[in-house]
Structure 1
Amino acid sequence: MTDCGCAKAKAELEEYLHRELSIQDDADVAEHIKNCDDCSSEHLVGLALTLKVRQACQEQAPEELLEAVRSRLSNA
């Protein structure tokens, strides 16, 4: 493994968070994040945002709202 540097780690952070990097690139970014406070902080922010988006995407609209939307769509 090699330290890929801040520029590469930050550029590939999104892909790293979603496990979309090659094995080698993933290992390089992980190694860099482990040793760089600035990139580690960005990684933690990215993790928090990813978790919040994932949670928001799982929320369901209340049944009353769904029924009202369906009713308006069928009457349109």
Structure 2
Amino acid sequence: MTDCGCEKAKADLEEYLHHELERSEYADISEHLAHCEDCSDEVHLGQVLTDAVKRACRDTAPEELRVQVISSLRLTITH
């Protein structure tokens, strides 16, 4: 493993947070984060935001709104 540097770590932040990187890339970024406070702070912020979005996505729209949206989409598709 090699330290990938700040540029690579920040560029791949989203993929890192969602475990969408190859093992070697994930390991390189993890190693970098262990030694870089700035990038670790970015990852922490990214994780907090990701968790907030996940919580928000658990909420569902009221049934009346869902019916209106689906009806509107169907009208758009048929015209």
TM-score range, shorter chain: 0.7 to 0.9
Gap regions ≥5 residues in structure 2: none
2:3 matched to 1:3? yes
2:36 matched to 1:36? yes
2:18 aligned residue:
18
Q: How is 1:43-58 mapped onto 2 (pairs within 5 angstroms)?
A: 43-58=43-58
The Cα of 1:69 is off from its aligned counterpart by: 5.3
* Alignment partners' CA distance in 1, 2:3 and 2:9: 9
Residue identity matched to 2:61: A
Question: Percent same amino acid among aligned pairs?
Answer: 51
User: What do the CA deviations read for 1:7-31 (whole angstroms, capped 9, x no partner)?
Assistant: 0000011100010100000000011
Gap regions ≥5 residues in structure 1: none
The count of corresponding residues between Structure 1 and Structure 2 is 72
State the TM-score, normalizing by the size of structure 1: 0.82
State the TM-score, normalizing by the size of structure 2: 0.79
**RMSD of aligned residue pairs (Cα, Å):** 2.1
Give the match's secondary structure for 2:2: coil
